Structure 1
Amino acid sequence: MEFYCHPRCSTCKKAQKWLDAHNISYTFKNLLETSPSKETWIQILSETDRTMKSFFNTSGNVYRENNLKEKVPSMSIEEAAEWLSSNGMVVKRPLAMDGNKLTVGYKENTYAQTWL
């Protein structure tokens, strides 16, 4: 599993603690340094039943400063993938994926249903 998060994010720390407590192995990826590639985001956004908005950190400064609230609803998958791959602060965190499954954000019951 690839586990993308911000090292100082309290929600990420809770998710990481949950993964550790359940002995689930993962590769920690710092979103400040790297986000999934544009190609990976295109694949995720093309195959998901989630809204595009659900992948964006809607409470973040970058989201607000760039007026993404107005832009995201009309974005193409390509445009969204460009934003998400180029700035990890735009990504809702934590993002956990293993090729078959994916979670965005952290809710204990969702993690239990998905990763156990």
Structure 2
Amino acid sequence: MFKEKTTKIGIEMTTVMYGIKNCDTIKKAKKWLEANELEFTFHDHRVNGLDKAQLINWCETLGWEQVLNKRGTTYRKLTDEQKAGLTEATAIELLIEQPAMIKRPILEVDGQLTLGFKADTYAALFAK
């Protein structure tokens, strides 16, 4: 799954984008990476599955409340009781069952995680 890739400035980096292929934000992030001639591997949660240990790492690193996408329709369909009772542990179980509830994209560049897509954030990340 992980591949060594080369950036425009010649530094070897491993870049993986996590998400689901039909997400508009994923499409924008992919387009930005391709326009900047940056190679990456795309990991689709729905197709390739989701590793619980990896999800726990994301929640510990980025914060589970950040990883949980509260703007999506899947989250909005939860009952008020489900939303009120969320803890890190219950959120992780929910995200394993419903990977569409993970905020997208999660970009991993040489072990460094970035959540969401902003062109200036990506530019700074790859300028290193």
**Short-chain TM bin:** 0.7 to 0.9
CA separation of 1:65/1:56 partners in 2, compared to 1, >3 Å: closer, same or farther? same
Distance in 2 between the 1:115 and 1:87 partners?
31
Identity of aligned residues (%): 30
1:32 to 46, 60, 69: 46
Conserved in 2, the CA contact under 8 Å of 1:4 and 1:35? no
Alpha-carbon separation, structure 2, partners of 1:35 and 1:95: 15
Q: In 2, Cα distance between the equivalents of 1:115 and 1:79?
A: 34
Runs of 4+ with deviation above 6 angstroms: none
Q: How far apart in 1 are the matches of 2:25 and 2:107?
A: 13
Match of 1:91 among 102, 107, 115: 102
- The higher-RCO structure (CA 8 Å, 6+ apart) is 1
| Distance across 1 between alignment mates of 2:83 and 2:119 | 27
Contact 2:106 2:116 survives alignment (8 Å): yes
Match of 1:52 in 2: 64
Q: CA RMSD in A?
A: 2.1
Instruction: Normalising by structure 1, report the TM-score.
Output: 0.79
| More strand, by proportion | 2
CA distance in 1 between counterparts of 2:120 and 2:85 reads: 31
Match for residue 75 of structure 2?
63
Question: Counterpart of 2:4?
Answer: none
Q: Quick check: 2:58–2:67 contact (8 Å CA) kept in 1?
A: no
